[in-house]
């Protein structure tokens, strides 16, 4: 913890890079841990092709979204730590693989959401081909729940009649235009990249730590299990993201 605090103090530009593990302390399960999403849903339900082809997959997906939003969740000390760094002028922002919006709720202003957001739904268009290329219509997720409550089990875009999906990136769906470039731009500005709560198994996101090292940044990994990048990190802290980052950032900014 002392080394982490020192690294945070010494760095002029700290960039965060977070995964599902940063939100487990807020009560949102990650994908791979026991009790995680993979143990309860078929991973193939997250494939864009199946979503497009099969109304029953869309119904299961809306059911999963309802489950996701059924319990109220709040940011934890890990989210607040990244917001505090930005608020103190020590960080230009945080890159996240998460879709839960908790970084914004904690006060982070610049959040690069690599995999989109579950807080909105979007039009996929009439003949989706892998890119998020619908008619451009988007709405808060509550729109879809209202349609489902009204008896529609497969809500359609009110503007063009196309399929509607959570504004998250499914397997087989391209990332939203510009997000990787924005994430890379942030990483290249970093003196210190703090990775928290990611198994670092999903590409291209997992390439960012190596890119940071190539650009001369230091790398810290805070995770409760091993990651494939532990050997190249300047510091690995094995623990819970909120319990580690909360006090370390408070100490570094005091
Ligand atoms: P992951 O599930 O692959 O890895 C999470 C990692 O965090 C694991 O190594 C786990 O051991 C660790 N972890 C869990 N709780 C922790 C804690 N409190 N402190 C420290 N480490 C902890 O998740 P990933 O790397 O983000 O990649 C998988 C995909 O999961 C991403 O695309 C993401 O969009 C998606 N996802 C997001 C959410 C969310 O938005 N909250 C939830 C589930 C999955």
- The CATH code of domain 1-27+74-115+175-254 reads 3.40.50.1220
Per-domain residue ranges of the chain: 1-27+74-115+175-254, 29-70+116-168
Where do we find the tokens 């006090």? 247
Task: Out of 21, 35, 246, give the residue to mutate to test ligand 1, the one with the largest number of ligand atoms within 8 Å of its CB.
Answer: 21
79 catalytic per annotation: no
Domain spanning 29-70+116-168: CATH 3.30.1600.10: yes
**Do the domains spanning 1-27+74-115+175-254 and 29-70+116-168 agree at the CATH topology level?**
no
Ligand 1 near 229 CB (within 6 A): no
Interval between CA 217 and ligand 1 midpoint (Å): 23
Say if pTM beats, i.e. exceeds, 0.75.
Answer: yes
Ligand 1 near 21 CB (within 6 A): yes
pLDDT of residue 64: 84
56: buried, middle or exposed (CB in 10 Å: 19+, 13-18, 0-12)? exposed
Task: Please state the atom number of ligand 1 nearest to the C-alpha of residue 31.
Answer: 2
pLDDT of residue 237: 98
The whole-number mean pLDDT for each consecutive block of 10 residues of the chain, a chain of 254 residues, reads 97 97 91 64 79 90 85 94 98 97 98 96 75 81 94 92 92 88 97 97 87 97 96 98 98 97
Contact 37, 23 (CB under 8 A): no
Contact 93, 86 (CB under 8 A): yes
Q: Which residues contact 98 (CB under 8 A, 6 or more apart)?
A: 18, 19, 20, 22, 23, 113, 115
Interval between CA 2 and ligand 1 midpoint (Å): 25
Interval between CA 31 and ligand 1 midpoint (Å): 6
The helix, strand and coil proportions of the chain, stated in percent and rounded to the nearest 5, come to 40, 20, 40
Q: Which residue minimizes the CA distance to atom 8 of ligand 1?
A: 199
Q: Name 219's bridge partners.
A: 193
Strands (E), the chain: 14-18, 93-96, 111-113, 116-125, 138-140, 163-168, 192-196, 218-223, 235-238
pLDDT of residue 210: 95
């Amino acid at each position: 913890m002392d080394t982490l605090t020192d690294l945070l103090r010494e760095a002029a530009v700290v960039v965060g890079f977070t995964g599902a593990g940063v939100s487990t302390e807020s009560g949102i399960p990650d994908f791979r841990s026991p009790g995680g999403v993979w143990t309860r849903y078929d991973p193939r339900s997250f494939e864009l092709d199946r979503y497009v082809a099969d109304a029953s997959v869309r119904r299961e997906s809306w059911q999963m979204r309802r489950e996701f939003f059924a319990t109220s969740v709040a940011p934890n000390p890990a989210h607040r730590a990244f917001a505090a760094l930005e608020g103190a002028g020590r960080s230009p922002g945080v890159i996240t693989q998460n879709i839960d919006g908790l970084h914004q709720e904690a006060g982070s202003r610049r959040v690069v959401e690599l995999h989109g957001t579950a807080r909105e739904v979007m039009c996929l268009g009439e003949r989706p081909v892998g890119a998020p290329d619908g008619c451009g219509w988007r709405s808060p997720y509550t729109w879809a729940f209202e349609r489902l409550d009204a008896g529609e089990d497969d809500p359609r875009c009110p503007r063009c009649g196309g399929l509607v999906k959570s504004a998250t990136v499914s397997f087989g769906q391209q990332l939203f235009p510009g997000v990787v470039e924005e994430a890379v731009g942030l990483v290249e500005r970093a003196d210190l990249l703090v990775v928290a709560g990611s198994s670092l198994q999903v590409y291209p996101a997992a390439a960012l730590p190596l890119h940071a090292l190539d650009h001369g940044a230091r790398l810290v990994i805070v995770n409760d299990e091993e990651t494939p990048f532990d050997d190249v990190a300047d510091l690995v802290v094995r623990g819970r993201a909120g319990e580690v980052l909360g006090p370390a950032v408070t100490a570094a900014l005091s």
